[in-house]
Structures are given as C-alpha cells and as structure tokens.
Amino acid sequence: MSGRTLPEAVAPQHDADDAKPRKTDPRREGNLNPRRALFRRAIVCGGTRMPSPRFATFCVAAVLACTLPHAPRAAGQVHWDYTGHGGPAHWSDLSADWEACGAGRQQSPIDLGKATAALLSKVELHWAQAEWTVVNNGHTIQANAETAGYAMIDGERYDLKQFHFHAPSEHTVGGAHFPMEVHFVHADADGRLAVIGVMLQAGGNNSLFRTLMFLAPKQEGAESPAGQIEPRELVSDVSRVIRYQGSLTTPPCSETVLWTVLKQPIFVNQRDIDAFTAMFPMNARPVQPLYRRFVLEN
Ligand SMILES: [Zn+2]
C-alpha cells in the first residue's frame, strides 16, 4: 500500500521511552520509498541533563542486561509486565532502582503530535555487517549483535547494540498508535543511549521483518541465530525525524535516552504483525507526560 498519514494510525493506547535533546541540523534525504511522511509535526521538549558517566554506565548495563538476550534471570530479579500488578503503573513500586518510572520527568514514550520545527542534526547510519541473534526475552523479540556499527547523531557516535519491537507503537501521534514500532538501541562510550524509533504500518512486505518473525522463538529465553541480516531494511527516511530527550520505556526507565523517531513508517505484511502479536499482544508502555521538555521536528 502507499503511504499512510497520521490520521490513519491505529487507535490510541499507551507508550513510553526517552532520549536527550541536542542541536539541530538540516534535513537530508532518506533512502526508502518516497512515501508520505507520517508525522506532520513534532513537539519540542526541553531540559535534559546527563547523569554522571558512572551512573549512566550502570543504567546502560542494566538496560542492556534487561533487554538483551535473555540473560538468565538473576535470583531475586523483579518480575514486571505490561498489565496487572506488574504493569506500568506499578513499576516504580516494584524496585527501589525503578523510581524513575514513577517520579521521572523525562519519561518515554510520549505523544509526538505537537512538535516544534527546528533544524535537527543529520542522522547518519554506519551500521556494519554482523552476526545477529534473535531472542525472546519475555517482553519482546529482540535482535542482538556484538559489533554492528554505529550511528552519528548530533555529531556524536553511538554504537548499535540491539533492536526490538513493540505492539502497538509506544509513541503516538495525536493519540493514535501505529500497529508496531521498532527501536534501534545505541550507546556511546559513556553509556548514554540514543534510540531510533521507526513505526511499522500494515500494507506492504518487508522481507527482513518477515524473516525475523519466522525466526522469533516462541518460548521465553530461547534464541535463534539470524546470520548477517541487514537491519537497514527496517529503516525509512532518516532525514525527517522527531527528537526529544527521554527514557527507557521499560524498567528501570533510566532518563538517559536521546530519542529520534522517524516520521516515515516502514510497511510490513499484516500476517507478520499478527505473528508478533500472537506472542506479545501488547508490549507498549502508556505515553508519559511531557512536563517541561521540548519535542523537535524537522
Ligand atoms: Zn523499546
């Protein structure tokens, strides 16, 4: 199908995640099909402060450990979920280390419907060939690689660590969700994170997404080798983005993430979306208050 615009996004729900703000920069032409951009506007968020390198490193480690390959759950590891007693409304109560999930003022995801136009720095993807592994970590399907290249965002280098999926999308646009969203998680040498989010819309065929859903282990903790896949196939135009400072959208909700959400979705087959939701019917944190942040778009 051809490009969908915002109004066609799926029905509303909730979300979360974050990143930190920075400079701005000119636009640049993306590479996928010239489909219509999805977000017409973006918001601007403000304040962002980075924690100490040491703390940031801890956060990254915690995050990666949490979302990475099914690291065996350490004894005493707190269980969390997307519904019920372990749901988002209770995350901050489940562990003293997850206070930010409730008290944070730069939490993610957010609604991207009201952004402020700005010159945003160009996003450059320098992802490299790598051996990927697909894992079911109990919260999502995630692909991990040791050395998979890097992205230049606002002039800083962030190494690609993993990417994973959410259904429905975590970020919303004017309250509407897309069927799914993929998050490419990058980290810099100091442990700061930069996540690139891409919306998934039904109405096309994406061979990599199909392959990943085929390989995706149905059993929690299981993993499958995916070989040298090309993650770039899940990315649309990187020249039109929305940027803001936020957090991880899962515990510990660390506010160490510079978020970049692409305005243009990629198009995948509904059957492949169904394959994911058969395993994870709903793994999106509700959208969080913006507070004093700015959301920027180009
Ligand atoms: Zn995510």
Per the domain annotation, does 89 fall within a domain? no
Residue numbers of the domain that contains 279: 6-74+107-297
Per the domain annotation, does 130 fall within a domain? yes
What gap in Å lies between CA 82 and CA 255, rounded to an integer?
A: 19
Choosing from 14, 70, 139, 164, the catalytic residue is 139
Number of Cβ within a 10 Å radius of residue 7: 10
Please tell me the distance between residue 166's alpha carbon and the centre of ligand 1 in angstroms: 6
Higher pLDDT, 3 or 254: 254
**pLDDT over threshold 50, residue 104:** yes
- Beta pairing, strands 132-136 & 156-166: unpaired
What would the mean pLDDT of 92-96 be, rounded to a whole number?
96
Per the domain annotation, does 90 fall within a domain? no
269 burial (CB, 10 Å; 0-12 / 13-18 / 19+) is middle
**Most distant CA atoms of the chain, gap in Å:** 49
Per the domain annotation, does 81 fall within a domain? no
**pLDDT over threshold 50, residue 16:** no
Please tell me the distance between residue 281's alpha carbon and the centre of ligand 1 in angstroms: 15
- Beta pairing, strands 241-246 & 257-262: antiparallel
Please tell me the distance between residue 171's alpha carbon and the centre of ligand 1 in angstroms: 10
Per the domain annotation, does 152 fall within a domain? yes
**pLDDT over threshold 60, residue 243:** yes
Q: What's 53-97 look like in SS3?
A: HHHHHHHHHHHHHHHCCCCCCCCCCCCCCCCHHHCHHHHHHHCHH
Please tell me the distance between residue 37's alpha carbon and the centre of ligand 1 in angstroms: 21
What gap in Å lies between CA 281 and CA 243, rounded to an integer?
A: 27
Residue (of 125, 119, 122, 107) closest to 20 by Cα position: 107
Least confident of 17-26, 54-63, 222-231: 17-26
What would the mean pLDDT of 93-106 be, rounded to a whole number?
97
Please tell me the distance between residue 179's alpha carbon and the centre of ligand 1 in angstroms: 14
Model confidence over 123-153: pLDDT tens digits? Answer: 999 999 999 999 999 999 999 999 999 999 9
Give the environment of ion ligand 1: residues with CB less than 5 A: 183
Per the domain annotation, does 86 fall within a domain? no
Please tell me the distance between residue 249's alpha carbon and the centre of ligand 1 in angstroms: 6
Residue (of 245, 240, 289, 235) closest to 41 by Cα position: 240
What would the mean pLDDT of 277-288 be, rounded to a whole number?
98
Residue 117 belongs to a domain with what CATH number? 3.10.200.10
Residue (of 161, 131, 146) closest to 67 by Cα position: 161
Please tell me the distance between residue 247's alpha carbon and the centre of ligand 1 in angstroms: 10
| Domain count along the chain | 1
Residue (of 103, 138, 170) closest to 280 by Cα position: 138
- Give catalytic status of residue 139 as yes or no: yes
Per the domain annotation, does 85 fall within a domain? no
